[in-house]
Amino acid sequence: MKITYHLKPKLITAAFFAFLCLSSCHPLSCIWDLGFDKVKNIQKDSLIGNYDLTDYSKKMMRYEGNYKGNLNSEIILKSNNTFEIVNAPDWLINDFGEAHGQYITKSGKWNLSCENGTCIMELEGVQAGEIVFQKSNKLYILLSIGDTDDCQGLAYMKNQ
């Protein structure tokens, strides 16, 4: 079978779309992190402070994770490169994102490295990667729940 010239672009487009669908559960983007911009360069000092769980993330905890009670959670980044995450849902530290309705408080070291327009942050024992974002001139830490292909996560907004 000979493929005519005018069909080749359509076949290439279809093959590319099929590749995207097979390579990820959500090839285009996730709903929970839409509107956030990755931070490309930032000074460590500007990250220090308290970050509160957003209202949207609290709703997600209640409806998707069946968490009850006090849904307030915060991340505290300290100047001595230590952090504390307080009253966080247990599905944050479960590799499969399974919710058991429990809350955790965890502390450890945090680090930030920015190179070539990419900032990688590590919260020891919690998560590492491009997790520092901006939206409407405010800083956020976005933490994925389970596999990133599951497109679930929590957003913590820095207090001003």
DSSP notation for 122-150: EETTTEEES-EEEETTEEEEEEE-SSGGG
The residue extents of the domains of the chain are 30-158
Check if the beta carbon of residue 150 is closer than 8 Å to that of residue 97: yes
| Residue 158 burial (CB count, 10 A) | 19
HEC-encoded secondary structure of 22-73: HHCCCCCCCCCCCCCEECCCCCHHHHCEEEEECHHHHHHHHHHCCCCCCCCC
- Assign 44 to helix, strand or coil: helix
pLDDT digits (tens, 9 = 90+) for 109-122: 999 999 999 999 99
In CATH, what class is 30-158? Answer: mainly beta
Could you tell me how many residues make up the chain? Answer: 160
pLDDT digits (tens, 9 = 90+) for 14-39: 444 444 444 444 445 676 677 899 99
- Assign 109 to helix, strand or coil: strand
| pLDDT-above-70 percentage for the chain | 79
- Taking all residues of the chain, what is their mean pLDDT, rounded to a whole number? 84
- Determine the pLDDT at residue 69: 86
- Determine the pLDDT at residue 123: 97
- Determine the pLDDT at residue 24: 44
